[in-house]
Amino acid sequence: MAEPTIPLDDDLPVPPELQKTWAVLRRGLRESPELRTGLGFTLILSFAVIVATLVVPILIQKIFDHGFDGGFQAAYVYSICGIALVLVTGSYIAGRAAGRRLVTASEHALKNLRVRTFAHIHELSVAEQTKEKRGIFVSRVTADVDSLAEFTEWGGIAWLISAAQIAGALLLMLVYSWQLTIPLVLLVIPLLLVVGKLQAGFTSAYSLVRTRVGEMLSEVSESVMGAAVVRAYGLDESVHGRVANAIGNRYRAQMTAHRRAATLFPVAVLFQALGIATVVVLGAFYGESWGLTVGRVTAFLFLADLFLRPFADLPEIYSETQTAIAGWRKILTVIDLPVEIVEPEPGVVLEHGALDVRTEDVRYAYPDSDHVLHGVSLHIRPGGHVAIVGETGCGKTTFAKLLSRLADPVEGRIVVNGVDLREIAPASRRTAIRMVPQDGFLFDTTIRENVRQGRPGATDRDVETAFEELGLGEWVAQLPDGLETVAGERGEALSVGERQLVALARAQIASPGLLILDEATSAVDPGTEQRISEALRRLSHGRTVVTIAHRLSTAEQADHVFVFDAGRVVEEGRHEALVANGGVYARLYQSWLGNVSVG
């Protein structure tokens, strides 16, 4: 009953220290030192770009005021034009260098952040790596890291550059005329108020758009994922109606956003015109009495533009910053998830051969939920083949995960060959204790590489031997490309049964002393089924085997059966004895008999 992951705006709970915008920004910068190194020089280079924008009004003022003093001052005009050209060229070079430095630092930082987040996700315990969270984790490493790029390459520094441009223009205006500067500065107040109000409008409009897009996608995904049910029950029109309705709602939300966005630049243009008109009126009426010149007033026409324009860019920079902060917050939340499994250094190395396993009052609870294991104590002798049975939700799968240290018990301990599982060296544990999960997940590479992953440093010959030892040489030979056959995404180029065969070979190559088998439930064709049983028989030989049994026929064959119920071992013993006992196991067995023995 596999369900594809639906892209949802799902979130992990944000820790309190990452609620505040500034805290996120500070942490983000601390986690990515690549962004800070050399930032000072990059900033200096970026400010040099501002010089180029101020050159034009200065040039106008100089030429208008001094270029025609007592006839055309050709030498003066051409030389200041020459200086201006040099400055513009210089600022181009500085800008280019600043851009390159930003790109280099930012991409370096993003790559490292991506790899670190990914590595951290793999370190989390299986309790965190639930199916529901997979989609979230994937987007943290992909889309969320990408969402930072705009900010780290431009948005972050754009705040400073805009501030510098405003400051530079302001400074020059004050030099030319403080009287003309005052009305322009005063104009900034209503401009900021209006822009701020518009900004709030964009934020709410875009968040509505996101909600509507999400709603539309979940309607569509229901309609396609549930297509069979929709068709079989004649829901086509009502479901289509809901999808069409969601498309319409999304359209309306988009148009609200467009309407609000469409007002920003017209407002900015009007404010700019008001500023210029004010300069013209004041300059013409009082310019002479304030001791201004035609050049200075004309320069002001352009300075007003330079001074006011950055304010209209603020919403864009702001929204990019918001995007980045949101992305950072999501990534940092994952990075802050605690790693529960702490590996010993160097740890005890297990000797080769079948292992003795003892659990002492093992209890376990998944985060934020009730206990699923309530004190499990059991003992499995070396070479013993035991089955664990019980109804869905009895804790048997969780127990298997604890045995292979995919998570640690909350209380109690697991002792292997007399050593606490937590004291065993990771490399030793991984080859000596091997869990074979039921889904037979394979990587999208050849069968050979998939099996080789079972033991670091395994040779081609080792891989072939593993298959032969399991009696699968013949099966490999009849594959289209033998061991070079590609398994496909999640191994889906092979059938469920074939994937299990490869998974068994992957376990065989490690030669584990304890094998934990999570039995498959899916139907497999009879031929493959026989191969699997034979391979399992050979794989189990001389090893301690714990099988999480979904079939009572497996339990029938086990040396010893543990019956789990609601997180406890309620019965144990051999199959026959348990049946005779008349307890939980006997009831399970009776219903099984009732199902198979008719006719």
Partner 1 sequence: MSVTAEPIEQHDASRGMFLRGMRLVASYIRTHPGPFAVSLFGALLFAIGGIATTAVLGRVTNQVLVPAFSGGVDARTIWLGAAAIVGVAAVRALGIGLRRYFSGMTGERMMRTIRLQVAERYKELPVAYHKATPTGELLAHMEADVNAAVEVIYPVPFATGVLFLVLFAMVSLILTDPYLAAIGLLVIPTLALMNRSFARRVQGPVERAQERIGDVSAVVHESIDGALIVKTLGREDAETERLAARAEELRKERVEAGNIRAGFEPALEALPSVGIILLLGVGSWRVSRGDVTLGTLVQFVALFNLLAWPMRFIGWILAELPRALVGKDRVDQVLAQPVTVAPPARPVHLPDGPLGIEVQALDYHLDGLPILSGVDLEVRPNESVAIVGPTGSGKSVLAQLMVRLDDPDAGEVLVGGVNVRHVDPLELRTTAALVFQESFLFAASLRANIALDSGASDARIEAAAQLARAHGFIERMPRGYDTLVGERGVTLSGGQRQRVALARALVRHPRILILDDATSAVDPTIEAEILNGLREAHDATLIVVAYRLSTITLADRVLVLDDGRIVATGAHDELLTAEPRYAQIVRAYERGEV
Residues of span 176-215 touching partner 1 by CB under 8 A: 213
Residues 162 and 155: their CA atoms lie apart, in Å, by: 10
**∠ at Cα 109 (105, 114), nearest 5°?**
150
Judged by CB under 8 A, the residue of 175, 277, 342, 349 near partner 1 is 277
Cβ closest to partner 1, residue 23 vs residue 274: 274
**Exposed/middle/buried for residue 233 (C-beta within 10 Å: 0-12, 13-18, 19+):** exposed
Instruction: Check binding of 395 to partner 1 (CB under 8 A).
Output: no
As a three-state string, the secondary structure of 203-253 is: HHHHHHHHHHHHHHHHHHHHHHHCHHHHHHCCCHHHHHHHHHHHHHHHHHH
Cβ closest to partner 1, residue 21 vs residue 203: 203
Judged by CB under 8 A, the residue of 39, 77, 415, 586 near partner 1 is 77
Residues 161 and 143: their CA atoms lie apart, in Å, by: 27
Min dist. Cβ of residue 474 to partner 1 (A): 20
Q: Are 561 and 585 in contact (CB under 8 A)?
A: yes
- CA distances to 206, 253, 315 from 343, rounded to whole Å, are 46, 51, 48
Judged by CB under 8 A, the residue of 204, 207, 377, 591 near partner 1 is 591
* Residues contacting partner 1: total by CB under 8 A: 162
Which two tokens mark 272?
A: 């700019």
Sheet holding 433-436, edge to edge: 433-436, 514-518, 544-548, 385-389, 560-565, 568-573
- CA distances to 64, 187, 201 from 262, rounded to whole Å, are 38, 21, 12
Cβ closest to partner 1, residue 27 vs residue 429: 429
Part of the chain binding partner 1 (CB under 8 A), chosen from 1-9, 173-181, 315-323, 345-353: 1-9
Instruction: Check binding of 353 to partner 1 (CB under 8 A).
Output: no
Cβ closest to partner 1, residue 20 vs residue 537: 537
- Which DSSP category does 394 fall into? S
Residue ranges in 415-454 that form contacts with partner 1 under rule CB under 8 A:
426-427, 429-430, 434-437, 441, 443-444, 453-454
Part of the chain binding partner 1 (CB under 8 A), chosen from 94-102, 468-476, 563-571, 573-581: 94-102
Part of the chain binding partner 1 (CB under 8 A), chosen from 13-21, 72-80, 197-205, 373-381: 72-80
Annotate each residue in 105-124 with x if it binds partner 1 (CB under 8 A) or - if it does not, as one string. -xxx-xx--xx--xx-xxx-
Min dist. Cβ of residue 449 to partner 1 (A): 11
Residue ranges in 150-169 that form contacts with partner 1 under rule CB under 8 A:
153
Cβ closest to partner 1, residue 2 vs residue 189: 2
Residues 249 and 256: their CA atoms lie apart, in Å, by: 11
Min dist. Cβ of residue 197 to partner 1 (A): 16
Min dist. Cβ of residue 578 to partner 1 (A): 16
Q: What letter represents residue 176's amino acid?
A: Y
Cβ closest to partner 1, residue 16 vs residue 595: 595
- Which DSSP category does 444 fall into? S
Cβ closest to partner 1, residue 18 vs residue 297: 297
Q: What letter represents residue 354's amino acid?
A: A
Annotate each residue in 310-349 with x if it binds partner 1 (CB under 8 A) or - if it does not, as one string. ----------------------------------------
Min dist. Cβ of residue 87 to partner 1 (A): 9
Parallel/antiparallel/unpaired status of strands 433-436 and 514-518: parallel
Judged by CB under 8 A, the residue of 151, 176, 302, 564 near partner 1 is 302
- Which DSSP category does 343 fall into? P
Instruction: Check binding of 480 to partner 1 (CB under 8 A).
Output: no
Query: Measured between alpha carbons, how far apart are the two ends of the chain, in Å?
Result: 30
Q: What letter represents residue 445's amino acid?
A: T
Residues 223 and 243: their CA atoms lie apart, in Å, by: 8
Residues 176 and 170: their CA atoms lie apart, in Å, by: 10
Min dist. Cβ of residue 278 to partner 1 (A): 8
Cβ closest to partner 1, residue 14 vs residue 217: 217
- CA distances to 84, 312, 448 from 143, rounded to whole Å, are 44, 28, 32
Q: At which residue do the structure tokens 């900033």 appear?
A: 43
Q: Where are the alpha helices (DSSP H) in 460-525?
A: 460-469, 473-477, 496-508
Cβ closest to partner 1, residue 117 vs residue 321: 117
Min dist. Cβ of residue 352 to partner 1 (A): 17
Dihedral angle of Cα 2, 7, 9, 12, to the nearest 10 degrees: 50
Sequence-distant (6+) residues with CB within 8 A of 359 are 376, 377, 378, 379, 402, 403, 412, 413, 414, 415
Judged by CB under 8 A, the residue of 392, 418, 457, 576 near partner 1 is 392
Min dist. Cβ of residue 383 to partner 1 (A): 22
Residue ranges in 493-532 that form contacts with partner 1 under rule CB under 8 A:
506, 523-526, 529
Cβ closest to partner 1, residue 23 vs residue 486: 486
Min dist. Cβ of residue 380 to partner 1 (A): 19
Residues 398 and 392: their CA atoms lie apart, in Å, by: 11
Residues 206 and 208: their CA atoms lie apart, in Å, by: 5
Residue ranges in 371-390 that form contacts with partner 1 under rule CB under 8 A:
none
Part of the chain binding partner 1 (CB under 8 A), chosen from 32-40, 286-294, 410-418, 467-475: 286-294
Cβ closest to partner 1, residue 41 vs residue 233: 233
Parallel/antiparallel/unpaired status of strands 371-380 and 357-365: antiparallel
Min dist. Cβ of residue 17 to partner 1 (A): 26
Min dist. Cβ of residue 142 to partner 1 (A): 5
Residues 538 and 415: their CA atoms lie apart, in Å, by: 26
Min dist. Cβ of residue 173 to partner 1 (A): 16
Annotate each residue in 217-256 with x if it binds partner 1 (CB under 8 A) or - if it does not, as one string. xx-xxxxxxxxxx-xxxxxx-xxx--xx--xx-xx--xx-
Which two tokens mark 156?
A: 């972050």
Q: At which residue do the structure tokens 């300075």 appear?
A: 303
Cβ closest to partner 1, residue 101 vs residue 329: 101
Min dist. Cβ of residue 20 to partner 1 (A): 28
Min dist. Cβ of residue 585 to partner 1 (A): 13
